[in-house]
Amino acid sequence: MKNWKAKGLKWTLAASMAVTAILPLTYSTPPTYAAEAVVSKVEVVKRLPMVQVIATGGTIAGQSVDETSFTKYRSGTLLIEDMVAALPNKDQIAEVSSYQFGNSGSSAYSMEQLYDLSKTVDEALKTQDGVVVTTGTDTMEEIAYFLDLTVRSPKPVVITGSMRPWTVIGSDAQANLYNAIKLAASGKTKYFGTVLMLNDEFHAAREVTKTNSYRTDTFVSPGVGSLGHIDGDQIRVYRAPFRALKNGGQWATPFDLNKIGKEDLAKVEIAYSYQDAGAGAISGFAKAGADGIVTAGTGAGGISRAMSEERKQAIEEGVIFVSTTRTGSGSNYSSGEGIIGGDNLNPAHARIMLLLSLSFSENFDTIKGWFETYGYGQVEARK
């Protein structure tokens, strides 16, 4: 019996040793596995998105008289290179570069300069994953809509600025610039066209407007609301502009600036209606060579009798009109000989749309068709 147990023990030990010897051959990691492990570690370290900040000046680059001078400052003073360098933790969200396009208030820029700005943005997007454009807020919505209609790349373009200069206590400038970079780097607004980001919210360029001269929550999208917001690391997108629903072939507008020179940009003005408004605005604009005129009408787009008579005369002379409302929100369906309904475009946005349309065509029906496709914001269900 003892011999049997001894033999059994020897057999068990021998078997264990054999298995132990075999295990390294069976379960050891071959060189290819080791190589794959190294690759997987490399893949974990992902390349940060590349975002370029293109600066044009404005309050965001403002130098205040002192740290508490909220309204006394010189806009367009600081350089974007220094502003970007001062942002903390930017290397955690993107590889950020900068380009100083200009350093002026937004209303100081001509349409020819916006032509150059749009082409600068497109050139940057050939190598960058997204672009942030900093501007003054006074005409930011118009600059944003011009870029929205002309930039050819579907990559994210985010326009931002601030209501307080960079150098005062409690400035919104640093937060807005940081969040704009974060939004562009996220890629969440690809195919959205240009979006405007301030006060932790982002809006479609077509619909957003400035509503207050001083408050930091000045930008809103009347009737439709923002696209989404940024809360720390969370970027929430709750709706999309209609362009984001278009396929690749339909996404781009006809307004390719590579096909025209800046000298080809049309001249378009805005005539504001009010109680017993005279005809002088329309007649003056027409005599000064306006190719098109946008009327900011009362209610659903009405204009005074004198303006209406002068509009008829201008239409006979070849001027194209777009009818909009001065109320701040609502749609306009007015149309007729030489008149296009501006839908819910505000007067400033309608001017940008008509200016670009007239820069590429003089045909009324073609322009009307562009307003009813590229210029509108209505979402259509798939058929």
Catalytic positions:
59
Q: How far is CA 236 from CA 19, 230, 242, 327, in A?
A: 56, 6, 18, 30
Tokens of 195: 């979006």
H helices present in the chain, as ranges: 2-27, 31-44, 80-86, 111-124, 140-150, 173-186, 248-251, 280-287, 305-316, 347-360, 364-371
- The whole-angstrom separation of Cα 205 and Cα 228 is 13
DSSP class of 147 = H
- The whole-angstrom separation of Cα 165 and Cα 197 is 16
On the 0-12 / 13-18 / 19+ scale of CB atoms within 10 A, 45 is exposed
Q: How far is CA 365 from CA 16, 54, 88, 358, in A?
A: 90, 37, 52, 12
- The whole-angstrom separation of Cα 143 and Cα 58 is 12
Using DSSP's 3-state secondary structure scheme, residue 51 falls into strand
Are residues 134 and 55 in contact, defined by beta-carbon separation less than 8 angstroms? Answer: yes
- The whole-angstrom separation of Cα 165 and Cα 171 is 6
CA 358 to chain centre: 23
- The whole-angstrom separation of Cα 131 and Cα 51 is 5
- The whole-angstrom separation of Cα 17 and Cα 353 is 83
Are residues 159 and 143 in contact, defined by beta-carbon separation less than 8 angstroms? Answer: yes
